[in-house]
Structure 1
Amino acid sequence: MGRVTETDPPPSGHSESAQRARMGFRAAAVLVVASSAAVLVVEITALRLLAPYLGLTLETSTLVIGIALSAIALGSWAGGRIADRADPRRLIGPALAASGIVVAFTPAVLRSVAEWAPPLLLFIASLTILVPGALLSAVTPMVTKLRLSTLAETGTVVGQLSGLGTAGAIAGTVVTGFVLLSRFPITAILVGLGTLLVVGAALFEWRTRGVRRLSAAALALAMVTAGLVSSFAPGSCHAETKYHCAQVVADPERDGGRTLILDGVRHSYVDVDDPTFLEFTYVRALAAVVDVAFPARQPLDAYYLGGGGLTFPRYLASTRPGTRGLVSEIDAGVVRIDRDELDTPDAGIAVRVEDGRLGLTRLPTEGQDLVVGDAFGGVSVPWHLTTVEAMTDVRRVLTPDGVYVANLIDHGDLAFARAEVATLRQVFDYVVVAGEPEDLGMDPVAAPDGGNIVVAASDRPIDPSAIHTALDARETDWTTAAGADLAAWIGDDVEPLTDDHAPVDQLLEPYQVRRPQ
């Protein structure tokens, strides 16, 4: 009979020590599902946490997803190697506890860095995703090591745990996107998740090793500290909606003045006592276009892509009695803020909680005198509201003499603004742009700085000089461009945006200011 060496499998397939060390399936399933779900909770909430500082753009999403995938790869690789060199039972608890502490402190750390040391934001943000993601991803290979007792069952164990990990990731994604973010603030989600991970670590240590290697008092103190620090950290929200971190700030110089701030950007200024007061220059430019396009005090059928604080719908309802305004606003939380804190009037303004592109499809043909585009995700117009196809639908709902007027934001060489104006010129017969002289190439000395640009489009002529006069009357220093001047400003190499190719986030220059003009 041959000798059994140390590298041979046990004769029976299960030695006594292996039987003692092997982890039960139920415990393994809980650890794998929970740790995988936690990684996705961190990833999705990171997108919301970074939006006020980096914008909610394709680049931001790509960055966060890339870091999260890197964390999963690093954690899986390192966790497997370490599990082969040390007892996984000694590592799982500390990994859960360390990740929980990092997650709980993430809101306070990121918001503080964003306010006090912005150049470090990307680096610190990467660490707050990479560190807990890697630690949590290391749990699965460690658990796999504890579940294996013979090579004969490797495929079954690895397949089961891999499937459970994927199921956990799906659960974490769905629950976060559909439940947590709509019901709890980001701070509460991350501090709560961190607390659960720390509690899980303590339970694992107690159940598997029978010793209290982690100090329960110290961990509890860390969680309480994380909650307190996050509560007092800068950048916290008055309300968190499904899409935004929202604040309403009173104007100390005007009794009725209120500013709606979404993700750190001043989206709307409303005077609840005087709806005709227009603080932002771009809103005065919208009003100037309407003044020129339609007779004074003529009631309009108006449709608004995006609501925000409903500044312009209030203005038209007040200055043109009988106007019927319909607003498509995707964020129900913003609609609640409008109603509860900004005193939205019921007369003349109806609001639907819906995506603007879908709202367009529900409108009858030639039913609107005016369509206003003022929808933003962060500082960029959602791409599906910029394309030839979307503008064709806008043209469909307008009367033959109707007008589309939109607010755009861009910086640098204004590549997005030029592309969007080129798109409108492909759909409508007449287009006029209003903006700062240097942004429209009217200043031979100053380079474009960017900011808000207002564009008007129609199938009937729009008088750019009349709009210029109306802008002067509203105390703006903006000018207008149309015809050959506008074509020269756009350039010859600009392609219109389409549903098949609308790289809005790539065209948009990083913004330099955090408020509309």
Structure 2
Amino acid sequence: MSDSSRRPLPGRLAAFLVFFASGAVLVLETVALRMVGPYVGVSLQVTSSVIAVSLGAIAYGAWLGGWFADQRDPRTLIAPALVLAGIATGLTLPLVRYAGEALRGGAVPAILLVTAITVFIPALLLSAVPPIVVKLQLADLNRTGQVVGRLSSIGTLGAVTATLVTGFVLVAALPSNVIMVSLAVSLGVVGLAVGSYLHRDRARPGLPLSQRAKATLAVIGIAGAGLSAVAPTPCDVETAYSCAAVEVDPERAGGRVLYLNSAQHSYVDLDDPRHLEFAYTQWIGAVADLAAPPGEAIDALHLGGGGFTVPAYLAATRPGSDSVVFEIDGRLVELAERSLGLRPGPGLRPVVGDARMLIADRADASADLVVGDAFGDLAVPWHLATREMAAEVRRVVRPGGIYVQNVIDYPPLRFIRAETATVAAVFPHVALIAPPRALAGDDGANFLIVAGPDPLPLARIAERLAALPEPVIVISGAELDAFIGRARVLTDSFAPVDQLLVSPY
């Protein structure tokens, strides 16, 4: 080995390489959650899978990088690792989209496979860079601890910086495909630049990459870009929280279906806001119709906007009503204005932010109707499903007012039992609306919890529900207690919503 190959890298270059490679891994990990969401959801299991696969890639990459650094001249390894990581990153987008369409669903094998396709190879290659750089810096064994500690610290700072920048800036400003392509290009450019620099710094002649190798890599890169361009995409708009798309209902001229992460989320009829297509919205409409005398304006608070179906229904059926909608996703509000007929005004006011935070500023006894319809994938966000959140809702509901909460669950119905028990721990009067087969534990479905500080108009609710096209029943009292059984009340310190809700896949 020549003297130049044993010289340590310049300190600033070494620090940059470790910072850059470690940061790129965390960009991949953060964006991966966005890329896999349309196909396998955004549940806790998916998040855990992304983290676990990323950590596995980091572990194997560090091990392999150290092993290769001991077998070959480390200076010949850095550029190929970065360039190959760039190519793998560029190919990730089309691979995920094609594989995601084939593996769509929430089954554990599908989650792990789609996640592995997204992050494993590029993260493994990038994680090989720090140990290679460390090898090059260990010219003086008396400074081993200092060198390893310094570069390890710099790598961690790179990961932290990338996580914050990606989560707070990039994801909010750019689509995931732009982030991934930009990262791929950056890795390729840095890899080629570093390779050129190290080639000039070596005593031995020879090209760092042969012309054939360069041509091969260029062809692979162009092919990846082409596949990315033609790969199927499920999104009209990629927001900070979901992949959103709006489709026209071929059976109804004004009908629009909002998809979030490829799952039907809301239905809006642009020509007739009184039309409620989905069964659970019909149940909410039946309850809302009884919140006050017909046509009388009410004050409503909506936890979650989605397609703004229910606020539009109230505006049409109860002119002069005041609907305040807490929606965490600002870009979803923009999409609703552009494609779903949302017209914000004095009577319909979207407020962008987390409902748990925003409700704290709502005045006591200020709403005749509170509608809980916020979802992260199939589950109610855990912090909106606790007794503490129900207490906030109870504080806001006026005497005689009503709280309705939409919940999705599947057999054995552990989540809906726990959530009903949670609401019943705060409200003295509670009922549950659901299809008979769902209540029997035979099917998954939407459930609607209805609660109030005063007795509910259950007979009139049941009468209205009986007129709907799909059979649905209302249970309360002893029957509801039997359904809840020994389900545990969810609290801010214990709310395993994703584990209680069993995926249908």
Q: Same fold (TM over 0.5)?
A: yes
Seen in structure 2, the aligned counterparts of structure 1 residues 45 and 173 have a Cα distance that, compared at 3 Å, is same
Seen in structure 2, the aligned counterparts of structure 1 residues 271 and 127 have a Cα distance that, compared at 3 Å, is closer
State yes or no: 1:261 paired with 2:247: no
What is the identity, as a one-letter code, of the residue corresponding to 1:503?
A: P
Contact 1:72 1:137 in 2 (8 A): yes
- Equivalent residue, structure 2, for 1:51: 37
Contact 2:22 2:159 in 1 (8 A): yes
Q: CA deviation at 1:20?
A: 5.8
- Equivalent residue, structure 1, for 2:392: 393
Q: CA deviation at 1:430?
A: 1.0
Q: Equivalents in 2 of 1:365, 1:459: separation in Å?
A: 13
Q: Equivalents in 1 of 2:254, 2:110: separation in Å?
A: 38
How many correspondences in the alignment?
Answer: 492
Q: CA deviation at 1:507?
A: 0.3
Range that drifts further, 49-58 or 156-165: 49-58
- Equivalent residue, structure 1, for 2:489: 496
Q: Equivalents in 2 of 1:407, 1:388: separation in Å?
A: 16
RMSD: 1.7
1:174 is aligned, of 157, 164, 182, to 164
Q: Equivalents in 2 of 1:300, 1:216: separation in Å?
A: 68
State the secondary structure of the residue aligned to 1:500. coil
Q: CA deviation at 1:343?
A: 2.2
Q: Equivalents in 1 of 2:89, 2:209: separation in Å?
A: 21
Q: Equivalents in 2 of 1:485, 1:99: separation in Å?
A: 59
- Equivalent residue, structure 1, for 2:421: 422
- Equivalent residue, structure 2, for 1:444: none
- Equivalent residue, structure 2, for 1:289: 287
Q: CA deviation at 1:196?
A: 1.5
State yes or no: 1:325 paired with 2:311: no
CA deviations over 1:71-95 (Å, ceiling 9, x no partner): 1122122211221221111221221
1:481 is aligned, of 475, 500, 505, to 475
- Equivalent residue, structure 2, for 1:229: 227
State the secondary structure of the residue aligned to 1:421. helix
State the secondary structure of the residue aligned to 2:289. helix
Seen in structure 2, the aligned counterparts of structure 1 residues 369 and 120 have a Cα distance that, compared at 3 Å, is closer
- Equivalent residue, structure 1, for 2:309: 311
What is the identity, as a one-letter code, of the residue corresponding to 1:315?
A: Y
CA deviations over 1:440-473 (Å, ceiling 9, x no partner): 12xxxxx521121111001211243322221122
What is the identity, as a one-letter code, of the residue corresponding to 2:495?
A: A
What is the identity, as a one-letter code, of the residue corresponding to 1:229?
A: L
Seen in structure 2, the aligned counterparts of structure 1 residues 31 and 244 have a Cα distance that, compared at 3 Å, is same
- Equivalent residue, structure 2, for 1:3: none
Contact 1:440 1:481 in 2 (8 A): no
2:501 is aligned, of 508, 512, 516, to 508
Range that drifts further, 361-370 or 336-345: 336-345
Contact 2:291 2:369 in 1 (8 A): no
- Equivalent residue, structure 1, for 2:86: 100
Q: Equivalents in 2 of 1:304, 1:199: separation in Å?
A: 48
Contact 1:202 1:216 in 2 (8 A): no
State the secondary structure of the residue aligned to 1:243. coil
For structure 2, the residue ranges without an aligned partner over 5 or more in a row are 201-206
Q: Equivalents in 1 of 2:91, 2:194: separation in Å?
A: 22
- Equivalent residue, structure 2, for 1:186: 176
What is the identity, as a one-letter code, of the residue corresponding to 1:486?
A: L
State yes or no: 1:206 paired with 2:196: yes
Range that drifts further, 386-395 or 92-101: 92-101
Q: CA deviation at 1:346?
A: 3.1
What is the identity, as a one-letter code, of the residue corresponding to 2:252?
A: R
Q: CA deviation at 1:392?
A: 0.6
Q: CA deviation at 1:294?
A: 2.7
Matches within 5 A, 1:459-470: 459-470=453-464
2:341 is aligned, of 334, 343, 365, to 343
Normalized against structure 1, the TM-score is what?
0.92
CA deviations over 1:133-176 (Å, ceiling 9, x no partner): 12111100101111121101112211221111011101110111
Contact 2:49 2:115 in 1 (8 A): no
What is the percentage of aligned positions where both structures have the same residue?
A: 43
CA deviations over 1:374-426 (Å, ceiling 9, x no partner): 00111110111111111011010111111100110111211111100011111
For structure 1, the residue ranges without an aligned partner over 5 or more in a row are 1-14, 442-446, 513-517
Contact 1:102 1:128 in 2 (8 A): no
What is the identity, as a one-letter code, of the residue corresponding to 1:94?
A: P
State yes or no: 1:158 paired with 2:151: no
- Equivalent residue, structure 1, for 2:404: 405
Contact 1:39 1:133 in 2 (8 A): yes
- Equivalent residue, structure 2, for 1:278: 276
Contact 1:52 1:245 in 2 (8 A): yes
Range that drifts further, 146-155 or 37-46: 146-155
State the secondary structure of the residue aligned to 1:84. helix
Contact 2:234 2:262 in 1 (8 A): no
Seen in structure 2, the aligned counterparts of structure 1 residues 171 and 372 have a Cα distance that, compared at 3 Å, is same
Q: CA deviation at 1:334?
A: 0.3
- Equivalent residue, structure 2, for 1:197: 187
Q: Equivalents in 2 of 1:308, 1:265: separation in Å?
A: 12
Seen in structure 2, the aligned counterparts of structure 1 residues 235 and 465 have a Cα distance that, compared at 3 Å, is farther
Range that drifts further, 150-159 or 231-240: 231-240
Q: Equivalents in 2 of 1:116, 1:123: separation in Å?
A: 11
- Equivalent residue, structure 2, for 1:244: 242
Seen in structure 2, the aligned counterparts of structure 1 residues 122 and 324 have a Cα distance that, compared at 3 Å, is same
- Equivalent residue, structure 1, for 2:203: none
Seen in structure 2, the aligned counterparts of structure 1 residues 166 and 495 have a Cα distance that, compared at 3 Å, is same
CA deviations over 1:115-143 (Å, ceiling 9, x no partner): 12446552242243222212111100101
Q: CA deviation at 1:19?
A: 7.5
1:455 is aligned, of 430, 449, 458, to 449
State yes or no: 1:146 paired with 2:145: no
Q: Equivalents in 2 of 1:99, 1:75: separation in Å?
A: 11
State the secondary structure of the residue aligned to 1:372. strand
Contact 2:96 2:117 in 1 (8 A): no
Seen in structure 2, the aligned counterparts of structure 1 residues 476 and 110 have a Cα distance that, compared at 3 Å, is same
Normalized against structure 2, the TM-score is what?
0.94
Seen in structure 2, the aligned counterparts of structure 1 residues 303 and 35 have a Cα distance that, compared at 3 Å, is same
Q: CA deviation at 1:260?
A: 1.2
Contact 1:43 1:129 in 2 (8 A): yes
Q: CA deviation at 1:192?
A: 1.7
